[in-house]
Structures are given as structure tokens and as C-alpha cells.
């Protein structure tokens, strides 16, 4: 078997991402026949078919899915190596790209970034928001240097290292003056009489909420509005009798003014959050400085 080269892997990766040879060729600035020939040579060297040719593009075979996983890892490692060498040559702090969950965008991370920017003027920091699974996918693809979010379960930590920093409690949130606030304790079935506003169902928090209702033989809440915007969600709560499932610290920040947490014992869940990195990845001095500040901030206030 002939050893594949990095260019072949990059070509394969682009076709796998775009699912279309014509689009991939245009983005790679090569001709379609050249790209097709490269893919066929790679398939011949491996002795397997990597793509199924369809009428409107291509689809990865099982062999292709396996190679994709490794190709993405190689792509990230080559990028890490280039970044490390560039930092060594320039002697600068370099840059850092951070993925963050909604709670971290509101608390702790802004302060850590502010401190890093103040003390290291040459630093360059990029912050992107998202939700657990999508953040981890982006991290594995090399789009982020590290992520701060709810920590993945042990079985979901393939290729990842985690550093716990905070813990928090999930519960039911609503506006002050909501009819259910008159009760010292609210029963789970009572919550189903009100509309719900939730973040995307891809989050672990949402799956946990559904599981808790199922464990008590209740149908899960019916979501009337699904949004990626936490700010929109909180404003909607203020103007309605809707309920949501979120971290308790929400009501203690400016965005959460006018909101309260209900006392629903069976729907109070603790979770751990912190820093997640690719196993064995290189972290720039810029990333290390932000992590240092964030670690110190969380040690002083370990709830988020």
C-alpha cells in the first residue's frame, strides 16, 4: 500500500466536508479532474471505496467515515504544529480561539478575557458561543483552542481532556409574580399547564429535562418557542407566564433581572463545567494566559 501524503488527506477532507467534488475543487483552486484523480489514487492505495457517487454529489462510505475521523485529527495536529512554530519564531503571545456555553458568556469568561487583554496588549482573542455538543465538534475540528462549557460524560471524552472549574444547579425559571411563585413548592405536573421556552434540544440539559419528566411518568414540556438566543429567551420570560430550564445563577446577573427560580425539588440538577481541550494539543501562550485568569476567577467563585 502506498503511503498517503498530506495533500491527499487535505483534498479528501474537503470533499468529505462539502459532499461535492465540484465545490471542493473550486475551493481548493484545482480542476475537478485533478481532484477526482487524487481521490481515486487514494482509494486505490487503501484498497477501499471512500465515497459513493450520487447524482448530486458524493456520500462517505463506512471506510470514508473512518478515514475522515483520522484526517480531521491530522489536519488539527498540522495546524497546531504550524501555530506553535509561528509563535516560537515571532516570540509573541499569538492568538486564542475560545468556544463558550451561554453561562460562560455571561459570567467569568468576560472577566478572564478582560484581564488577559489588559495585561498582555499583544494578545488576540476570539470568542464564539454555542452549546455543548456543537462546541465539542468544533473543538475536535480545530476551530477552537479550548472550550468552556458543561463537561462531557466520560463516554463522550474521546480525544478530549477536561479540567473541572465550577459547578452549578439547573432548575425552573420564570418571571417574578408568576402564578407558581405563590407556592412554596411547585409540583411537576403543574408546570405542564404553562408554556415553555427552551434552548435547542441538542443540549444535554434539554435531554436531562425530558428524562426527568419521563422518570415521573409525565409527558415532557411542550416547547412553544425554540431559540439559540439566551437573551431573547429571558426577555420572553419577563413578558409571559412561560417557563424554562436553566442555571440558577441566571437570576443573579443583569440579564436575569425580574426573574426567579421556582422550588421544584425533582427538577433541581447539579452539573460540572470547566475547560475542555483536545488531548495532546498545543496551547498558545495566549490560550495559557486566558486559562490562568479563568482558573483563578473560578477558584474565587466556583459557581457559574
Residue by residue, DSSP assigns 139-199 as: HHTTS-SEEEEEPPPGGG-TTEEEEEEEEEEEEEEEETT-GGGGSSS--HHHHTTS-EEE-
Residue 209: Cβ within 10 Å count: 22
- Cα distances (Å, whole numbers) of residue 115 to 84, 121, 162, 290: 23, 10, 23, 8
178 shares a domain with 239:
yes
Residue-wise pLDDT for 254-274, tens only, equals 889 999 999 999 999 999 999
Q: In the prediction, which pLDDT does 79 show? A: 72
The CATH number of residue 185's host domain is 3.40.190.290
**pLDDT value, residue 2:** 53
- Is residue 37 domain-resident? yes
56, 72, 88 - which closes a domain? 72
Which pLDDT score is estimated for 262? 95
Are 177 and 236 members of one domain? yes
Same domain, 135 and 278: yes
32 and 109 inside one domain: no
Residues 67 and 89 in one domain: no
Calculate the alpha carbon distances from 179 to 197, 243, 249, 273, 285 in Å. Answer: 17, 11, 22, 32, 52
Looking at the structure of the chain, the number of domains it has is 3
- Angle, helices 109-119 vs 285-300, to 10°: value is 130
Domain end marker among 20, 44, 72: 72
Are 206 and 132 within one domain? Answer: no
With 0.75 as the threshold, say if the pTM is over it. Answer: no
User: Domain range holding 161?
Assistant: 75-166+272-300
* Grid coordinates belonging to 149: 462549557
**Residue 94: what pLDDT?**
75
Q: Which of the residues in the chain have pLDDT under 50?
A: 1, 91
Question: Which CATH number do you get for residue 128?
Answer: 3.40.190.10
Boundary-marking domain end, from 49, 72, 95: 72
Query: Can you give the pLDDT at residue 1?
Result: 45
Is the torsion defined by CA of 19, 25, 31, 35 positive or negative?
Answer: negative
Domain-embedded: residue 1: no
- Same domain for 178 and 148, yes or no, is no
Quick: pLDDT tens for 150-191.
998 888 888 899 999 999 899 999 999 999 999 889 999 999
Judge contact between 79 and 284, C-beta under 8 A: no
Asked if 152 and 209 sit in the same domain, the reply is no
- Are the C-beta atoms of residues 130 and 138 closer than 8 Å to each other? yes
The grid coordinates listed for 122 are: 499583544
Residues 175 and 265 in one domain: yes
Assigned domain for 33 exists: yes
Helix (H, G, I), strand (E, B) or coil at 240: coil
CB contact burial 257-280 (16+ within 10 A = b; e otherwise): eebbbbebeebebebebbbbbbee
Do 251 and 295 fall within a single domain?
no
Same domain, 225 and 176: yes
Amino acid at each position: 500500500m502506498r503511503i498517503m501524503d498530506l495533500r491527499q488527506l487535505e483534498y479528501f477532507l474537503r470533499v468529505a466536508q462539502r459532499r461535492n467534488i465540484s465545490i471542493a475543487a473550486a475551493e481548493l483552486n484545482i480542476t475537478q479532474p485533478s481532484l477526482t484523480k487524487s481521490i481515486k489514487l487514494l482509494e486505490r492505495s487503501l484498497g477501499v471505496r471512500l465515497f459513493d457517487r450520487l447524482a448530486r454529489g458524493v456520500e462517505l462510505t463506512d471506510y470514508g467515515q473512518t478515514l475522515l475521523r483520522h484526517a480531521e485529527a491530522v489536519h488539527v495536529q498540522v495546524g497546531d504544529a504550524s501555530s506553535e512554530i509561528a509563535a516560537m519564531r515571532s516570540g509573541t503571545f499569538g492568538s486564542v480561539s475560545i468556544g463558550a456555553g451561554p453561562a460562560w458568556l455571561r459570567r467569568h469568561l468576560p472577566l478572564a478575557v478582560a484581564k488577559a487583554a489588559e495585561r498582555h496588549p499583544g494578545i488576540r482573542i476570539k470568542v464564539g458561543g454555542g452549546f455543548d455538543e456543537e462546541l465539542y465538534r468544533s473543538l475536535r475540528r480545530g476551530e477552537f483552542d479550548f472550550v468552556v462549557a458543561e463537561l462531557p460524560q466520560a463516554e463522550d471524552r474521546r480525544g478530549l481532556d477536561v479540567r473541572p472549574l465550577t459547578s452549578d444547579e439547573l432548575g425552573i425559571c420564570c418571571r417574578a409574580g408568576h402564578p407558581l411563585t405563590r407556592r412554596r413548592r411547585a409540583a411537576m405536573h403543574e408546570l405542564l399547564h404553562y408554556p415553555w421556552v427552551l434552548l435547542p434540544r441538542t443540549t444535554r440539559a434539554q435531554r436531562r429535562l425530558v428524562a426527568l419528566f419521563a422518570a415521573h411518568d409525565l409527558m415532557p414540556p411542550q416547547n412553544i418557542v425554540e431559540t439559540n438566543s439566551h437573551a431573547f429567551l429571558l426577555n420572553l420570560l419577563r413578558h409571559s407566564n412561560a417557563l424554562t430550564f436553566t442555571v440558577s445563577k441566571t437570576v443573579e446577573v443583569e440579564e436575569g433581572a425580574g426573574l426567579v427560580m421556582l422550588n421544584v425539588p425533582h427538577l433541581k440538577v447539579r452539573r460540572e463545567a470547566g475547560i475542555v481541550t483536545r488531548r495532546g494539543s498545543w496551547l498558545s501562550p495566549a490560550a495559557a494566559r486566558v486559562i490562568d485568569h479563568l482558573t483563578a476567577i473560578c477558584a474565587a467563585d466556583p459557581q457559574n
